[in-house]
Amino acid sequence: MVRVLFLGGLGRSGTTLLERLLGQLAGVSPLGEVVHLWQRDLVDDERCGCGDRFSACGFWQKVGVEAFGGWDAVDPRRVHELAAAVERTRHIPRLALGRKPKGLDEYAGYYSKVYSAAAAVTGATAVVDSSKHSALAYCLRHAPGIDLRVVHVVRDSRGVAYSWTKKVMRPEAETDEEMTRYSPSRSALLWNAHNASFGLLGRLGVPVLRIRYEELLADPVATLRNLATFADLPEAAHEMSFLRATDDGYVADLGPSHSAAGNPMRFTIGTVPLRRDEAWRRSLPKGQRRLVGALTAPLLSAYGYRFGGTT
């Protein structure tokens, strides 16, 4: 059994930052967004978090040999075909009822092999997949050989919506490619759907720990200790000397990682200040802020966020 910490939630909720912090803990091997490995790494040979191209990264080459006898043995078209057939948000109700669509075992098997190989290569107690997609978490729920534990990361829907309006480039693509952008109302609806499906996953018996982005940044030590307990990490994981309290909040010393795919923050190494990104409070126009607040009100309040009036 390989222990997998799956980081779930809507994008721009802080999952990449959380994965970077978890990666500093003893016994943890962060893999990035494995859902994108098949295209961005196997086909496009984009850069690993360590800076090398996927095909030149020693870690991922070892994982490929351990998992499949080499990446050449994997046909990315087959993985895409399976993903299109089973890993779809519209299949969640069916997956939730425990019905396995055709191809599910084969699809989940690819992930299972990658996780087990990464754990074997690194000797880690747990691997982290920050793929975020709830449909993938539902697929992995029945996968043999995976001890799945889901960390559901939520962030204030208005902060998420503002972030999706901004222009972010993808440095690893080395073209002028931008990350996707969404309108605030579109983000709000996606925020509801993704967060609700992780809530349902927890009610189906999968261990799900919900953490708030804002709490992670306010008290990273307490949040990460809670996560270390949730993941049954070794005692040494509770030692967090890479986090330092300063007069101006915490800073984290981040070492390199072998994140296969994800947002540009996966390349950052060195000392990083841990500050909440609250730009939306100033920069998201009031009308849009109210619209997003209204569309996401039930879950916002269930998660303990304050909203309404002028906030």
Binding site for Zn ion (CB under 5 A): 48, 50, 57, 59, 258
Considering beta carbons, is residue 59 or 191 the nearer one to Zn ion? Answer: 59
Minimum gap (Å) between residue 79 Cβ and Zn ion: 20
Minimum gap (Å) between residue 167 Cβ and Zn ion: 27
Considering beta carbons, is residue 63 or 161 the nearer one to Zn ion? Answer: 63
Considering beta carbons, is residue 119 or 139 the nearer one to Zn ion? Answer: 119
* Closest among 194, 224, 219 to 209, alpha carbons compared: 224
Minimum gap (Å) between residue 260 Cβ and Zn ion: 8
SS3 247: coil
| Cα gap 63→82, rounded to integer Å | 21
Considering beta carbons, is residue 48 or 190 the nearer one to Zn ion? Answer: 48
* Closest among 48, 35, 113 to 74, alpha carbons compared: 113
Minimum gap (Å) between residue 173 Cβ and Zn ion: 17
CA 154 to chain centre: 11
Instruction: Annotate 85-123 with DSSP letters as a single string.
Output: HH--GGGHHHHHTT---TTHHHHHHHHHHHHHHHHHHH-
Considering beta carbons, is residue 54 or 303 the nearer one to Zn ion? Answer: 54
CB 163 within 8 Å of CB 181: no
Angle in degrees, 0-180, between the axes of helices 286-295 and 157-165, rounded to the nearest 10: 130
Minimum gap (Å) between residue 140 Cβ and Zn ion: 23
